[in-house]
Structure 1
Amino acid sequence: MLEVIKPNIIMQIAINIDESEKIDPIDPIGDITITNDTTTITEKSTYLDSWFDALITGVKAVKQGKNIAVEIVEEPEPILFEPWEEGMRIYYRKQSISISHVSEFTTALKLAANNFLNKLDSQSEFHSNDLLKVIRDFVDNESQPQITVQSSA
């Protein structure tokens, strides 16, 4: 029997890193996509560590009921976060996404951040990047995502 581990959410954060060459842990560049199954925010060829740091900062502010504009040093515009009902809204450039529950976003962010760190760990011996420490702390210390196990025959 095959078991598929699948988050119980429709919110997804996906990254794409060109792994044909060794990943630079100081400046990890790739694409990031944030989607809720109906709308999407995508940024191509960007510094993924900076994006994860901004998303972590934003979700922490929203959990405290605060609006926040988070600057990404390498990007021309900030990412805006605002609480919305039980969820949140994210705005970047002319793109926006509404998330029903902050916990869904937190779960998706934690899963994507863990995936990102695993890719870096598989190709790099030592990480002296301070943003990676912030991301690792978020993955290690935030409440665990709720995962459902579905069986398929």
Structure 2
Amino acid sequence: MQYHFFRISAVTPGETAEEFNRFLRSHRVLNVNREFVSQGENSFWALAVEYLPGEATVKSPRSANRRNRVDYKELLPPDAFQLFVLLREWRKQTAEQEGVPVYTIFTNEQLAEMAQRGCASKDELQTIDGIGQGRLEKYAEAVLGLIRKQGDEAGR
């Protein structure tokens, strides 16, 4: 464990505050001890940062999400992607009505597989990993109806 100390002006934090934030983002921080020192216009924050040597290993959830996100528009053929978007919109509306997260209905991977295969029956849906009897009973008719509808519109 190592320590790094900062003194940040309470009146004009400026560059020192930015340096402090850069340090926090680039190190594996264990603890930050802070103390406000009141000296009128010379008041400042005294900060002691306990950290482990080496680079930070924790990335923000937002950047990790972007890095792991699958671009289904590139992955799926245009007609399958169009169906995928339709299925995703149905899933969103259904989740809102049921008050549950969208992934509890079907995951993006499951929707993409449905769209790519163009499933025409409950048996075909059931071959998709993670889709069991409960989901089939609850959602199969709606999903199969959307797939049929999209197929009919594409056939025109």
Normalising by structure 1, we get a TM-score of: 0.30
Task: Please tell me whether Structure 1 or Structure 2 has the larger radius of gyration of its CA atoms.
Answer: 2
Greater helix share, 1 or 2? 2
Normalising by structure 2, we get a TM-score of: 0.29
Greater relative contact order (CA < 8 Å, ≥ 6 in sequence): 1
Greater strand share, 1 or 2? 1
